[in-house]
Amino acid sequence: MIDKLIEKIQLDRPSVFWGIVLVMYIVSITATKYFYYESKVFSEERRLKSLYGLVDEAASTCMELKKQDGKYCLQKLSPLLDRVDAYYGQKVSVSGMYGTLLHGDPKYAGERDPLNLSTIMCVYAEKKEQCIQNGQRIESLNSQIEITSYPKPEAYKSVILALTFSVEDVLNGKFNIYRAMSRSFPAYFQLILVIFAVSLLRLSVIAKMRYIQKHGEDDD
C-alpha cells in the first residue's frame, strides 16, 4: 500500500517532494508559534489576575491608612503600577466615585487583539456578557477596574515575520535586530533540521522506488 502511494504521488520528483516538505514545514512552524503564544497568554492571564489582586489590596490598605481619602489613594496607584515590570506591559483603567485613573502604554496595542482582565475573570460565569460589562471592582474605592495587555499576535503574521526575518518591521520602521533574531533563528534552525532529515528520507524513497522498479522488471 505504501509502495503504491509513493508511486502515485511521485515522491521521487524533486518538485513534488520539496513542495510537500515546504507545506509540512510551514504547518509545523505555525503549530509551534501557536502553542508558544498560547503559553504566553496563559502566563499573562495569571499575571493580570495577580496584578488585580495587588491593586485591590493596595487601594484597601491606603483607604484605611488615609482615612478614606479616595482621590489620594486613587492617584497613589500610579507609582505602584510604575514599579510593575512586565514584558508586554499593561493598560490599567480605574473609574468610579473618586475619578478616573488611566495608566500604562502596553506593547503591541492596536496591533494585536486585547487580553482583558474582565474577560479572564468572567470566563466561567453563567452570564458571561453581563459579567464582562459589569467589570471587576475595587470595593474600597467604589470603582471598576480594567487591565489590558496584548500578548498574542495572529498566527499567520507571526509565521511570516519569523520566515522573513521581520521584513515587515523593516518596512514599517520598527525593526529590532534582537527581536528579529529571537523570532527567526528557531525557525531557521528547525528548517536546517527538516532539510537534513527529509534529504535522508528522499534518498531512502528513491532507493525504495528503484528497488521496486528493478524487481518489477525481473518478475516480468
Q: CA angle, corner 42, sides to 188 and 115, nearest 5?
A: 100
Structure pTM? 0.78
pLDDT at 27 over 60: yes
Average pLDDT, the chain: 85
**What pLDDT is attached to residue 115?**
95
Q: Band of the pLDDT at 10, cuts 50, 70, 90?
A: low
Could you report the per-residue pLDDT of 56-96, keeping only the tens digit for each? Answer: 999 999 999 988 899 999 999 999 999 998 889 999 999 99
Give the three-class secondary structure for 77.
helix
Q: Please state at what angle helix 177-219 crosses helix 2-9, rounded to 10 degrees.
A: 110
Helix/strand/coil percent split, the chain, to 5: 65, 10, 25
For residues 18 and 6, give the distance between their C-alpha atoms in angstroms, rounded to a whole number.
Answer: 14
Give pLDDT tens digits for 137-159.
999 999 999 999 999 998 888 88
Quote the cell numbers at residue 196: 537534513
Strand, helix or coil for residue 104:
coil
Length of the chain: 220
